[in-house]
Amino acid sequence: MLVLPGLANAAELAVVIDDVGYNKARGERAINLPGPVTIAVLPFAPHTGSLVEYATLLGKDVIVHQPMEPHASPHAREETGTLKLAMRDRDFDATLNAALAAVPRHVGLSNHTGSLLTAHDAPMRRLMRTLSSRGLFFLDSRTTAETVALDVARELGVPSLRRDVFLDHERTAAAVHAAFEKVLERARRQGHAVLIGHPYDLSLDYLHDRLAELPADIELVRAADLAVRQTRFSRPIVLARPVTPASPHISPGR
């Protein structure tokens, strides 16, 4: 049974692959997944530039996977260009603008880690004002239950979404399958859902098969489009989409 876009009985599912940029082969596999999967790229990873170019050629949306300060942890790894709570405004803006410049043709931004930063109102307001001025959407990865990011984004009229399920928080075949079934159930119950996975071989193998044969009542959609539909605006907002050139023929650490 073919479910056409916009049918009332089709629950919308957005799939985002985080942490792309360190491993070129797995990044390319993520980009090659069936359908309009969104690619969240770390701005200063070694293969960011080439993978963004490849994703654009294949018509996939790219978003900036912006590193943000987590709560202190012995397992926390600080990425280059991390936004921090103690930053002065000018340093915060410079760091954010450098990240946006490092990922060409982006349509939005999500937080990488950020359990500390996303729980604070002031830096989230500063971030959302930049996204609003650039016509970008925001995806809250929800690395903490204390996040205020989505509320601030909605208040300021930034198209926005929240993560519903992590696909591979536990990296076993049984856990990945259970997480996928959970996000399908969530999508059916609320009409839409957002799944975040990582460029692990286990996850990519699983998604390659499941996205190619989704149930008839599930429609795979772009995260950017879903953000626009699910956000209540006080004014019309149109996302700034890059022009796609003609083709010549990764565990959520929080």
* Amino acid symbol at 25: A
- The Cα–Cα gap between 131 and 139 comes to 11
Tokens of 103: 């990922």
Residue 118 falls inside a structural domain: yes
Asked if the structure places residue 248 within a domain, the reply is no
Instruction: Note whether residue 78 is domain-resident.
Output: yes
If one compares 25 and 1, the residue with the highest pLDDT of the two is 25
pLDDT reading at 250 higher than 60:
no
Supply the CATH number for residue 95's domain.
3.20.20.370
End-to-end Cα distance, the chain: 40
Q: How confident is the model at residue 137 (pLDDT cuts 50, 70, 90)?
A: very high
Q: Which one, of 164, 87, 93, 152, lies nearest residue 124 by Cα?
A: 152
Q: Are 220 and 211 in contact (CB under 8 A)?
A: yes
* pLDDT band at residue 9 under the 50/70/90 scheme: confident
Q: Give 216: exposed, middle or buried? Use CB within 10 Å, 0-12, 13-18, 19+.
A: exposed
| CB-based contact 111:143 (threshold 8 Å) | yes
**Is the separation of the CB atoms in 15 and 197 below 8 Å?**
yes
Give dist(CA 66, CA 42) in Å, integer.
Answer: 6
2 found inside a domain: no
Report in angstroms the alpha-carbon separations of 31 from 128, 176, 225. Answer: 27, 19, 18
Q: Which residue has the tokens 């280059």?
A: 80
Nearest to 28 by CA among 11, 51, 48, 47: 51
Q: Which range of residues forms the domain containing residue 29? A: 11-230
The number of distinct structural domains making up the chain is 1
Residue 250 covered by a domain = no
At 105 the pLDDT is 96
Nearest alpha carbon to residue 78 among 245, 205, 254: 254
Of the listed ranges 27-31, 121-125, 245-249, the one predicted with least confidence: 245-249
Residue 241 pLDDT greater than 70, yes or no: no
- Is the confidence at residue 246, as pLDDT, over 70? no
The pLDDT-based confidence of 73 (bands split at 50, 70, 90) is confident
Give the closest residue to 18 by CA, choosing from 85, 100, 97, 113: 113
How confident is residue 251, by pLDDT bands cut at 50, 70 and 90?
very low
